[in-house]
Amino acid sequence: MPSTGFLSVRIDFSQSHLFFPTIIHWILLVLAIAIALVYGPGLIREFREGKRRLLPKGSDVDVLRLGGTLILTVAYFVSMDWVGQFFPNRGLGFLIMSVPFMFGLSLLYVHGLTWRRFAVIGLSSTISPTVAWYTLAQLFHITLP
């Protein structure tokens, strides 16, 4: 079919990987500008009047639990990979690190810690990873760290 008129397009194969992303960039840019125009003035007004802040008030955010979750998760991922290297392909990095991770996170999340709850947390954080490891790595032969 002959390509004529202003709608005709030629795509250079060696550069074709950038053709669609470029279009997407333009669309995102136009949308961003539109969003700024539609919501911007209202937002600026709210900031000026103090109805909205860049960071939420400390009392609205449980900094300890949120921050703790992030730190524990990162530590969990890093240590699991590291420990796993000593026992390749057995999923032991996962098992060994999941226990302290779950224990720590449960302690972080619990409100009103009692001895009873402490014991339940201890049991749960030992049993769940073990069951998960046994079913997945041993029965289903799924690769774990």
Partner 1 sequence: MEFLSALTPLFFGLVGFGVVVGIIFGAIPGMTATMAVAVCLPMTYGLDLTNGLALLLGLYVGGISGGLVPAILLNIPGTPSSITTTFDGYPMTQKGEGERALKTGIASSLFGGLLSALVLFLFAPTLADFAIKFSYIEKFLIILFALTVIASLSKRLLLGIFSGVLGVWLSLIGAYDVSVGGNGEYRLMFGFMEPYLESGFSLLPVLIGLFGLATIFQEAEAGIREEVAGDLKLEAGKPFSFAVFRGQIVNLFRSSAIGTFVGMLPGVGGSAASVLSYTQQKNFSKDPSKLGKGAPEGVIASESANNGLTGGALIPLLSLGIPGDSTTAVLIGAFTLQGIQLGPLFIGENLATWDTMMVALVFANLVMFAVMFFAIRHIVKVITIPKYLLYPGIIMMCVVGAYAINYGIMFDVWTLLLFGILGYLGQKVGLEIAPLIIGFILGQQAEVYFVKSLESFGTLSIFFTKSPIAMFLWVLIGISVAYSIFGLIKARQRDRDHGPDQ
46 is a site residue for partner 1 (CB under 8 A): no
How far apart are CB 49 and partner 1 at their closest, in Å?
Answer: 14
Pick the binder of partner 1 from 44, 71, 119, 142 (CB under 8 A). 142
Cα 43 to the center of its chain, rounded Å? 27
18 is a site residue for partner 1 (CB under 8 A): yes
Cα separation, 70 vs 64, whole angstroms: 10
Counting other chains too, the contacts that 45-50 makes at CB distance below 8 Å and 24 or more residues apart are none
The token pair that represents 30 in the structure block? 């136009």
C-alpha torsion sign, points 57, 59, 61, 64: positive
Cα separation, 16 vs 104, whole angstroms: 50
Contact partners, residue 3, CB within 8 Å, separation at least 6: 9, 10
How far apart are CB 141 and partner 1 at their closest, in Å?
Answer: 6
Q: Which of residues 108-127 bind partner 1 (CB under 8 A)?
A: 109-111, 120-121, 124-125
Choose among 76, 67, 68: nearest CA to 99: 76
Q: Which of residues 89-108 bind partner 1 (CB under 8 A)?
A: 94, 98, 101-102, 105-106
44 is a site residue for partner 1 (CB under 8 A): no
Provide the binding-site residues for partner 1, judged by CB under 8 A.
Answer: 1, 3-5, 7-11, 13-14, 16-21, 24-25, 27-28, 31-32, 34-35, 38-39, 61-62, 65-66, 68-70, 73-74, 76-77, 80-81, 94, 98, 101-102, 105-106, 109-111, 120-121, 124-125, 128-129, 132, 135-136, 139-145
